[in-house]
Amino acid sequence: MDVYEHLALAKEALGRLQGRSIAIPNQGLLVNSISLQEAKASSAIENIFTTDDELYRAFSDGHSELTTEPTKEVLRYREALWKGFHLLQQQGQFRLDYFVK
């Protein structure tokens, strides 16, 4: 498949998601779930593994002392994603201080 075919499929999937998201009372749950899954998948590339159960429990408990180190690392990754997102929103562009933070 070439890039344009993937782009068309992604656009179609986003359209379906947008249509279904109206039925979700708290869309923040969906966004948080997606960012947690992205953090988990990216961390796995670095041989940092956790389960969905551990991850969601730790996220909802607010990092309890029972949270394993790999799970804490995935949660830190997620926090960094959000921090980057907010910095980009504030600055409107990629700048050196964005990458340093």
| The model scores a pTM over 0.75 | no
SS3 51: coil
Give the least confident one: 2-6, 17-21, 41-45, 87-91: 17-21
Q: What is the mean pLDDT of the chain?
A: 84
d(CA 25, CA 30): 10
d(CA 59, CA 33): 10
